[in-house]
Amino acid sequence: MKIVILPGLDGTGLLLTELEDILVQENAVSVIQYPPSLYRYDDLHIWLKNVLPDDDFILVAESFSGPLAIMLASQKPLGLRGIVFVATFVRSPVRLPLFLTHAVNIIPIKSTVLTWLIQPLLMGRWSGKAFTKRFRSALKLVPAATVAGRLREVLKVDAREQLRRLSLPVIYLRATQDRLVPSKMSQDFDLAPDTVFTIEGPHFLLQSRAKQAAAFILKFITILK
């Protein structure tokens, strides 16, 4: 069964190489790279529908891509057998007045200082110079306006109703030390027994705890088969 990985906010897929290397030993893996000009969930949804495989596959949806996976699954694409949600959300993890969502436009997203300061939020004690370098490289490939646009989408999204209507198997991997997505966000996904699983790690779970996350993904595939 093919594994289609939907990346986080950067959309480059460059931060998922370790996970891909593990999963590809047993399965065909496709790490999606979003067009750098697209930031709206609706536009990404339309684009993504045209690049999905024809045979059976599962989605692994990280962070920003959680709502996108839900939107996609609600259309019941042929071949989609299940979804693994990772450190993600179905509604905005932060409550802000709508007019403040435009404040993200003035954030110096590509600032070296900012990327250094945000590491504790993304990686916690698993952070290191090598990852910081990769993270900066990934951000350089995405226009600041696109990153800001995706942040605005996160702040106003709410796909709870679509999630409740899904009929395919899903699991949710929750990070114990996620400083960006509150643990209560996983409750929206707890729609059936044995759906939410916890892994010790930060928000960037697929980067810091790739082996542990891969084990859950592979077990999920085994159950589906």
Per-residue pLDDT at 22 exceeds 60? yes
CATH number of the structural domain 2-224 = 3.40.50.1820
pLDDT the model gives residue 102 = 56
Structure tokens at 23: 């999963």
The pLDDT of 34-49, averaged and rounded, is 97
The percent helix, strand, coil of the chain (3-state, each to 5) is 50, 15, 35
Structure tokens at 198: 């916890």
pLDDT the model gives residue 192 = 85
pLDDT band at 100 (very low <50, low <70, confident <90, very high): very low
Task: Name which residue leads in pLDDT, 155 or 47.
Answer: 47
Per-residue pLDDT at 108 exceeds 60? no
Q: What is the pTM of this model?
A: 0.91
pLDDT band at 136 (very low <50, low <70, confident <90, very high): confident
The runs of H, that is alpha helices, within the chain are: 17-23, 41-49, 66-73, 112-117, 119-123, 129-140, 144-156, 160-165, 205-208, 210-224
Q: What is the percentage of the chain residues whose pLDDT exceeds 90?
A: 71
How do the domains of the chain map onto residue ranges?
Answer: 2-224
Task: Name which residue leads in pLDDT, 93 or 87.
Answer: 87
The pLDDT of 141-155, averaged and rounded, is 90
- Tens-digit pLDDT profile for residues 173-200: 999 999 999 999 999 999 888 999 999 9
Asked if 156 contacts 99 with a C-beta cutoff of 8 angstroms, the reply is: no
pLDDT the model gives residue 122 = 84
The pLDDT of 104-112, averaged and rounded, is 55
- For residue 27, which of 60, 51, 49 has the smallest C-alpha distance? 60
| CA–CA separation, 155 and 53 (whole Å) | 30
CA distances from residue 74 to 50, 52, 54, 176, 218 in whole angstroms, order as listed: 15, 15, 17, 29, 23
The pLDDT of 32-48, averaged and rounded, is 98
- For residue 87, which of 21, 165, 19, 22 has the smallest C-alpha distance? 19
The pLDDT of 22-48, averaged and rounded, is 97
Asked if 75 contacts 49 with a C-beta cutoff of 8 angstroms, the reply is: yes
Sign of CA dihedral 91, 213, 166, 10: positive
